[in-house]
Structure 1
Amino acid sequence: MSEARPNAIRDGKYVELTYVVRDSKTGDILTEVTKPRHYVHGVNEILSPAITRELEGKTEGQRVDLLVDCSEIYGPRDECLVITEKMSVVPREYRQLGSQILMENNLGQMKSFLVTKIEGDSITFDGNNPLAGREVIYQVKVLLVRNATEEENEYGGKRDEPDAC
């Protein structure tokens, strides 16, 4: 029966897709992936397992809208990971909104933080995933579904070719 829909997403199929992530409350676009992402279904995942499961059985040209509680993917928002410092103690190269900085805790573990606010002589770093604690809508557009080649199955998708000189 599964061959009745040969271009349906299932294990062993090469899939190309794009997606938009919207805040479920405001509708604002949080992330937009316009360059097609590719993977082999059942071999690797480019989105969370919950989203990948929902793509099963979908076909080329379909758009799938999924309400996702990001607390299940990234955990709840942790205010202990929000740090505000005096601008003067922060190296100049990190004094810009959106800058990332690796910080080490007292156990020697490294964590990436993002500059999220600059106000007066204070700068705020946030170590939470930007989607942590949020409810979002993933709008996934399935662009291509076909049988994966042997190499794609081995690699988990298409190897990106380097740009020609």
Structure 2
Amino acid sequence: MKKLNFLFKTSAVLWILWGFVHIFAGIMTMKGILTDEISASISGIADAVDPSSLTMDYPEAAGAVIGQHGFNLFWIGLITFICAFFIWKGNKNAIFLAALTGGLADLGYFLFLDLGGFVNFVPGTIMTLISSAAILTSFYGYFKAKKS
């Protein structure tokens, strides 16, 4: 049972880190929109793109879409951050909620930004690896505990 607790605690720490980074990224993305610096918000996410190629007059709707993305980063980070404290204790609902919200958010990041070649390896891809590790450790611990 100690091994299973270690898995839940490891997953919880990973989700705390992942959640905090995404809360911060959401705030920074929304800040760029609120201060009318859409290109700063985009280059903060797509960090492999030359920032000078992003300097242009964006339609207000583009800013709204990026702002919505920032809001989504914020709330997804907050949900996984909160779930982490319940995952620490092996809570099944928190394990699956964090996996759904954080895992699917990172799947979209991987499909559209990583595979698209718009990002550098650090920090975004590292966050995808962290969420994957958090999901795997918590799922392994949960299903191992269920068999016991």
**What TM-score comes out, normalization by structure 1 length?**
0.23
More helix by proportion, 1 or 2?
2
Larger radius of gyration: 1
Question: Normalising by the residue count of structure 2, what TM-score does the alignment of the two structures yield?
Answer: 0.25
Between structures 1 and 2, the one with greater strand share: 1
